[in-house]
């Protein structure tokens, strides 16, 4: 029980169950050190759906790695989803030398790492004995926060300079506080520094939930918080836009509690983010097809001050 949560408790969600975590799991990648990841999964149950989570590029040393985002990953895993968290090449604590070609952001290598996770599910199960044979390789979603949302947008079908990185194994995606349109929508300085933000979201047809903080004022662009909703508006697969009220880029604290990334720690907003994203994932991954409908109905009622949902 969390005494700081009241309004968001009205949003329906399953009771938590025991989990197990394996870390580090290592996947070999050609020409570089192994990719390290964390797997957090329900301790029991079969045919578990999978979410591969892509971390952001924040100011902390360890949160942008497999060891961050526990408030989100643990919550999802306690309620029936296997969560895989790779430490990306851009990570300060466990990534590649930022002086290498492609550094420090390694946007292309990050996509390759997510693909390596999808290709390496059998090896992941081999290294996680209690999970072997319990993951459903046909029910896979990707989710990412901030720069991780950019990574996921490419895997979902976003085009970058006409190049596609789409992976057909992915059935759904959650983009959280994701960069919006690049190019002319950025300040000249940021357009020059981040040419890889110029993603054409119109190629995304996979169902996608876009999550934004109502107070997330980006510094990349002269536009306001609505910049982070571009993927929803531009992508045919944009299923819903979830705007969490009263918070900014951390959505109340998904990167970590008492963390540098968490500019506004708001337990109510965090709980709403966790419950609503879980409901959408459970519906889209055929765990509980009515979960999202029930949550939307509750949000209109007793929890209406917490967030707003815009659908197609």
Q: Are 98 and 87 in contact (CB under 8 A)?
A: no
Report the pLDDT value the prediction gives residue 156, as an integer from 0 to 100. 98
Low-confidence ranges of the chain (pLDDT < 50): none
For 9, 142, 296, 301, 303, the CA distances from 268, given in Å and listed in that order, are 9, 24, 17, 16, 10
The pLDDT tens digits of the residues spanning 17-34 come to 999 999 999 999 999 999
How many helices (DSSP H) and strands (DSSP E) are in the chain?
Answer: 8, 12
Parse the chain into domains and list their residue ranges. Answer: 7-311
Report the pLDDT value the prediction gives residue 301, as an integer from 0 to 100. 80
Which CATH architecture does the domain made up of 7-311 adopt? 3-Layer(aba) Sandwich (3.40)
């Amino acid at each position: 029980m969390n005494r700081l949560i009241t309004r968001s408790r009205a949003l329906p969600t399953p009771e938590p169950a025991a989990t197990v975590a394996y870390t580090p799991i290592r996947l070999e990648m050609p020409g570089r050190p192994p990719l390290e990841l964390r797997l957090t999964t329900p301790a029991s149950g079969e045919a578990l759906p999978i979410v591969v989570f892509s971390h952001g590029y924040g100011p902390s040393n360890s949160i942008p790695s497999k060891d961050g985002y526990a408030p989100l990953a643990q919550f999802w895993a306690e309620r029936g989803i296997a969560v895989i968290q790779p430490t990306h090449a851009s990570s300060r604590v466990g990534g590649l030398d930022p002086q290498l070609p492609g550094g420090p952001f390694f946007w292309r290598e990050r996509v390759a790492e997510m693909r390596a996770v999808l290709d390496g599910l059998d090896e992941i199960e081999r290294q996680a004995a209690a999970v072997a044979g319990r993951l459903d390789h046909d029910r896979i979603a990707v989710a990412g926060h901030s720069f991780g949302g950019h990574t996921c947008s490419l895997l979902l079908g976003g085009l970058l300079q006409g190049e596609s990185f789409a992976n057909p194994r992915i059935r759904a995606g959650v983009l959280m506080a994701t960069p919006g349109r690049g190019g002319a929508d950025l300040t000249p300085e940021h357009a020059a520094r981040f040419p890889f933000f110029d993603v054409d979201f119109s190629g995304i047809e996979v169902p996608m939930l876009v999550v934004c903080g109502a107070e997330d004022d980006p510094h990349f662009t002269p536009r306001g918080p609505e910049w982070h909703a571009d993927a929803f508006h531009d992508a045919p697969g944009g299923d819903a836009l979830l705007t969490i009220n009263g918070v900014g880029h951390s959505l109340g604290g998904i990167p970590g509690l008492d963390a540098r990334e968490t500019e506004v720690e708001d337990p109510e907003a965090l709980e709403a983010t966790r419950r609503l994203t879980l409901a959408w994932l459970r519906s889209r991954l055929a765990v509980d097809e009515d979960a999202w409908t029930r949550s939307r109905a509750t949000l209109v009622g007793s929890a209406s001050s917490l967030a707003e949902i815009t659908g197609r």
